Structure 1
Amino acid sequence: MFGVQVFRWMQKQRWYIADNGIYSKLISVMGKKGQTRMAMWLFSEMRNTGCRPDTSVYNALITAHLHSRDKTKALAKAIGYFQKMKGMERCKPNVVTYNILLRAFAQAQNVERVNSLLKDLDESSISPDIYTFNGVMDAYGKNGMIREMEAVLARMKTSQCKPDLITFNLLIDSYGKKQEFEKMEQVFKSLLHSKERPTPSTFNSMILNYGKARLKNKAEEVFKSMTDMGYTPTFVTHESLIYMYGLCDCVSSAVQLFDELVNSKIHIKVSTLNTMLDVYCLNGLPQEAHSLFERAKNIKIYPDSSTYKLLYKAYTKAKQKELLDILLAHMDKDGIIPNKRFFLNAFNGVASVPANSESANVATDSNTANSESAIAAADSNIENSESANAATDSNSSNSESDNAATDSNTSNSANSTTDSNGPKILQSWQLT
C-alpha cells in the first residue's frame, strides 16, 4: 500500500491541487507496476474529489488494465471502457486511445478485432498517425504475422503516411526473424535511399538474424558495411557478433573478439560476459565457460544473477555436478539467493532437451548475452521508439502517441498482399 501512502502525503501538501493530469499520471504508474486495483482505487478517489475524468484519464486506465497478467480479461475491460468513452462528450476516444487498443489486440493476434477497430477509426473524424501504423506492424512482426504486417504497410501508404526510421527497423527485424532475407535486404536498400539513416540497432538486428540462420559471411558483410559507413559498434553490436559466431560454430572467432574487447581496456558489461559464457555452453564447452567465469572478476567484470542462472542451466544439462557444486558455493559467497523460479527455469530447460541431443543445440538462458535482450535492441530496433511499447503516459498526446500503436489489416489489403508486397510498397514510395 506504499502507493496509497504517497498519494495521501501528496494530498496534505500545500501545493497539491487535484487535477486530471496528476491522476492520469498516478494511474499510469500503478498500471506499470501491475497494481491494477490501486489504479482503479485512484480512479474512484478522483471522482470522489469532484474531478471529472477526461480522455487522458481513461487512456491511462485502459493502459493500466493492459499491464495485468490476465490478458483476456484485460482486453475485455479495455473494450468496455472504450465503448463507455464513446458515450461521454469530454471522454471521446482520441488517436491515442485507438493506438493503445489496436496494438494490444495486434499483440493478442486478434485480427478480427483489429479490423473492427480500424473500421471504427475510418468512420470517425480521427486520422491514424505514424505511431498507429508502427505499433501494429511491430506487434504483428513480433508474432511472425508477416502478411498482416504487410497489410498494415499497404494501408499506411494509402493513408499517405510516410515511413520513419522505426518503420524501417521493425520491418528489417521482422523479416530477419522469419529468415525472409531477400525482403530484409530490400527494405534495408529502401532505407538507404530514404531521408532516414540506419542506426546501430539496424545493423545489430541483421547481424543477429543472419547468425541464427548460420549465415556467417552475410553477418560479417553487414558488420563491414556498418564500419565502412562510419558507425561505431556498440556493446550490443559486439554481443551480436559474439553470439553469431557461437551459433555458427566459430567459437574461436567469438573468443578472439571477446579477448580483443578485454585487451582494449574499454568497460565490459556483464551482458557481454554472459554472451561469451553462453557461446561456450551452446557449443558444449562447460569447462571453458567455468574458466572464464572464474577469471571474470580479475578482468573487472562482475557476474549477476543472469550469469548464475545460465551457468546453472548449462551445467545441469551437461551433468557437470562438480561445476554445479562450485557454482553454488560462489552463489552463496556472493549472496545470490535462488528463488523457486530460478530452479524451475533451470529444470524446465533440462526437461526440454532430448536425452542425446548435443548441447550445441540447446539454448542456455533467456538472458543470454542480452543476447536476447541486447539482441532485443536489435529486436524491435526501437531505439527512439518508446512507441513500440504501447501507450502509457496518457496525459500528453504526443507521449501517449509515442507509446501507442495500431494495426492495420485493412479489410481487403490482407488478401491483396503478394509475396514481396512489403518491399515493393517501400520501393514505390516517394521518399524524399
Structure 2
Amino acid sequence: MDNIVLVDSLNLNWLSSSFMPSTCLKKCFNEKKPGIGKNPSGFRVAAKKTSVVVSKGLQKRQKKELSKMLWTEAAIKAIESKAGSKKYKNLWPKAVLEALDDAIQLNNWESALKIFGLLRKQHWYKPRCQTYTKLLMMLGKCRKAEQAGLLFEVMLSDGLQPTVDVFSALVNAYGMCGLFDQAFSTIDDMKSVYDCKPNVYTYTILLSCCIKHHRLDLVSQILAEMTYLGIECSSITYNTVIDGYGKAEMFEMMENVLSDMIDSGTCHPDVFTMNSFISAYGNCGQIEKMERSYEEFQLMGISPDVRTFNILIRSYGRAGMYQKMESVLDFMKNRFFSSTVVTLNTVIDIYGRAGDIEKMDKFFLKMKHQGMKPNTITYCSLVNAYSKAGKLFKVDSILRQVENSNAVLDTPFFNCVISAYGRAGNVDKMSEVFSEMIEKNYDPDYVTFATMVQAYNAKGMSEAAEHFEAKMLSLQTCSGPKLLGC
C-alpha cells in the first residue's frame, strides 16, 4: 500500500536495485583548579543569570498557535487535492513549496509525497538535492525505509548526482528502521562515488541509529572504520556515543570515550556530555558517582543548564532524597533558572509516587500559577497518585479540568484513567471513559484491553472480560490502526 502512494504520487515505476583505547576517567580530571574543594551537594556554578520569563497572554498565544496549525493543515490539503489532477501544471510556486515544507515539518509523509509529485509536474520545476534530502530525512523519522529507497531511485531518474547529504539522509532512513545491512551498503556505495565520500556527519547519523536500536555491538566497528578512513569524531559524535553507553549502563566504555574526547585535543566536553554522565549514574541510583561527575565537570569549566537540574531532581527524587531534591529547586530559584514544565512534572510525579498528595498538589498549583500548561504527563501522574491514595473523586476533578482545557490527550492518558476506575471496581465509569476514548478517535492498545479484562474478571463479569480479551488478542493480527474494526 505504501508503494502505491509513492508510485502514484510521482508517476514513476519502481526501479529495483536492490577503537576504542581504554583509559581511566580519572585522568580526565587530574588538572583541577587550585583552591577549589569538592562540595558534591553544594551546586556551585559559574553560570550567567538568566532572566525570568513571565508568561503573559497565554490563552491568546495558544489560540494563535491553534489558528496557525489549522491554517497550515488547510493549506496542505488544498494543494494535496490538486495532486491527482493532470491540469495543474503551472501553480504559484510559493503555495506549492510552502505546502511541501509544512507537510515535511509535520512529518505528514503521505501528503508530502503527493505534493512533491505535484511539484515535479510544474513547468517551472527544477530538481534539487536539498528537496530530496528533506524528504528522505522525513521518511526516516516516519520509519519508511522502503519509501526512502523508492525516492532515491526517483532522484536518480531526475538526473541528479547524489550528494553527501542525500546519501546521509538515506543512511538515516535505513538506520532508523533498523536495516543496518542496507545502511552499511549505502555507505559502501558512497565510497565508490567521486566527491561523495562518507564524512563525520554520515557516521554520526549511523551511530545514533545503532544506539537507538540497542546495537551497541556495532559502535566499536563504526568508530574503527572512521579511524581507518582518517575521519575525526566531532563533539556531537562523542556525545552521541557517550549518551548511548550511559543509557546502556556501560560505564567503563562511557568513561573511555570521554578520555578519547579529551585526548583528541579538538573536541571538548560540554554541557551535553555532563548531562549524559549525571543522567547515566542518576538513573541507576549511583548518587555519589552522579554528584562527583557534577562536581568534576564544573571544575572543567562546564556550567549546568536547566536540563542538568531536571536530571538531578529526578535522580534525588527516585532515590527518596527529597530534601536534596528541593535544595536543587531552591538553587535554581536563587540563580534565576526558570523551572520548566518538565521540572514541575518531575516533582509532581516524584511526590505522587511517594504518596505525598499534599506536596504534589502544591506543585501542581504552582505550575498553574506560573502560567504553565499541564500536559498528559502531568495529568497521568495526578491520576495515578489519586488512584493509589483512594481519592477517586479527585480523578473526577481531573477529568473535568481536562474537558475544560485544550490539552492534547493521548492513549496513555485514557489508559491511566481506565486503570484508576478499574482498580477501584467502578467498571461503569471505566466503560464510560473507554467509550469516550473511542468517540474521540484515540486508539486503544494492549494495555487498555488488559486493564479492562482484569477489572471485569475482578467483578466476576466473565462475558465482558472475554470480549475484551478477544480484542487484546486481535492486536497481534490486526494491521490497521482502528482496532475495534478488526
The answer for the alignment partner of 1:106 in structure 2 is 211
**Aligned 8 A contact 1:95 1:127 in 2:** yes
Whether the 8 Å contact between 2:383 and 2:420 is mirrored in structure 1 is no
Q: What is the aligned partner in structure 1 of residue 127 from structure 2?
A: 18
In structure 1, distance between residues paired with 2:214 and 2:435 = 45
Name the CA distance, whole Å, in 2 between partners of 1:351 and 1:175: 38
Instruction: Tell me the distance in 1 between the aligned counterparts of 2:211 and 2:160.
Output: 33
Indicate which of 142, 154, 159 corresponds to 2:264: 159
When structure 1 is superposed on structure 2, of 319-328 and 113-122 the one drifting more is 319-328
Query: Which position in structure 1 is the counterpart of 2:385?
Result: 279
What do the CA deviations read for 1:200-248 (whole angstroms, capped 9, x no partner)?
A: 2211111112222222122112212221222121122111111111222
Distance change (3 Å), C-alpha of 1:267 and 1:224 = closer
- 2 CA distance for matches of 1:23 and 1:192? 43
Query: Map of 1:95-244 to 2, 5 A cutoff?
Result: 95-160=200-265, 161-244=267-350
Deviation at 1:299, TM superposition (A): 7.0
CA distance in 2, matches of 1:98, 1:294: 47
Aligned-partner SS, 1:319 = coil
Residues 149 and 289 (structure 1), Cα distance of their counterparts in 2 relative to 1, 3 Å cut:
farther
Distance in 2 between residues matched to 1:5 and 1:350, nearest whole Å: 40
Query: Any conservation in 2 of the 1:296–1:302 contact (CA below 8 Å)?
Result: no
- Checking the alignment, whether the CA contact within 8 Å between 2:422 and 2:451 is kept in structure 1 is no
Of the three residues 441, 447, 453, the one matched with 1:337 is 441
Please tell me the residue identity of whatever aligns with 2:409: D
- Residue equivalent to 1:53: 162
Given that residues 331 and 337 in structure 1 are in contact (C-alpha distance below 8 angstroms), is that contact kept between their aligned partners in structure 2?
yes
For residue 86 of structure 1, what is the aligned residue in structure 2? Answer: 191
**Distance change in 2, residues 1:105/1:224 (3 Å):** same
TM-score (ref. length: structure 1): 0.72
- Give SS of 2:140's match: helix
Q: Partners of 1:45 and 1:295 in 2: how far apart? A: 51
Task: Decide which moves more: 196-205 or 299-308.
Answer: 299-308
What's the CA shift string for 1:164-222, capped at 9, x where partnerless? 11111121111111111112112222344444432222111111122222221221122
Asked whether the equivalents of residues 216 and 248 of structure 1 are also in contact (C-alpha less than 8 Å), the reply is no
Query: How has the CA–CA distance of structure 1 residues 76 and 288 changed in structure 2, closer, same or farther, with 3 Å as cutoff?
Result: farther
Task: Please list the CA deviations of residues 234-282 of structure 1 after superposition, one character each: whole Å capped at 9, or x if unmatched.
Answer: 12211111111122232221122223444x272432333333223223x
Give me the whole-angstrom Cα distance separating, in 1, the residues matched to 2:203 and 2:373: 42
The 2-side partners of 1:235 and 1:132 are apart by: 29
Amino acid at match of 1:22: T
> How far apart are 1:163 and its partner, in Å?
0.6
Percent identity over the alignment?
A: 26
Structure showing greater relative contact order (alpha-carbon pairs closer than 8 Å, 6 or more residues apart):
1
**Per the alignment, do residues 87 and 184 of structure 1 end up closer, same or farther by CA in structure 2, a change over 3 Å counting?**
same
Aligned to 1:41: 150
Which residue identity lines up with residue 61 of structure 1 in the other structure? Answer: L
Q: Which amino acid aligns with 1:49?
A: D
CA shift in 2, pair 1:288/1:199, >3 Å:
farther
Change in CA separation of 1:109 and 1:294 when aligned onto 2, cut-off 3 Å: closer
Residue identity in the other structure for 2:200? V
Look up the equivalent residue of 2:441 and give its one-letter code. Answer: I
Of 296-305 and 161-170, more deviation after overlay is shown by 296-305
State the alpha-carbon separation in 1 of the partners of residues 307 and 278 from structure 2: 10
Deviation (angstroms), 1:336: 2.0
Indicate conservation of the 8 Å contact 2:418/2:452, yes or no: no
Unaligned runs of 5+ in 2: 6-109, 459-486
Q: Distance in 1 between matches of 2:198 and 2:407?
A: 49
Structure 1 residues 348 and 79, CA, compared in 2 at 3 Å: closer, same or farther? farther
Contact 1:140–1:149, Cα closer than 8 Å, also in 2 = yes
Unaligned 5+ segments in structure 1 are 357-432
Deviations 1:348-379 (A, max 9, x none): 468999x99xxxxxxxxxxxxxxxxxxxxxxx
1:212-361 counterparts in 2 under 5 A?
Answer: 212-262=318-368, 264=369, 266-271=371-376, 272-281=378-387, 283-285=388-390, 287-297=392-402, 300=405, 302=407, 304-305=409-410, 306-328=412-434, 330-331=436-437, 335-339=439-443, 342-348=444-450
Aligned residues: 345
Question: Quick one: structure 1 residues 297 and 244, their matched pair in 2 at CA, closer, same or farther if it must change by over 3 Å?
Answer: closer
Distance 1:314 1:143, change over 3 A: farther
Does residue 118 of structure 2 align to residue 9 of structure 1? yes
Distance 1:351 1:77 in 2: 42
1:143 counterpart letter in structure 2: A
Would you say the 8 A contact 1:241–1:254 is kept in 2? yes
Cα 1:90/1:183, change in 2 over 3 Å = same
The verdict on how the C-alpha distance between 1:219 and 1:288 changes in structure 2, with shifts beyond 3 A counting, is farther
Q: Cα 1:217–1:60, aligned 2, differ >3 Å: closer, same or farther? A: same
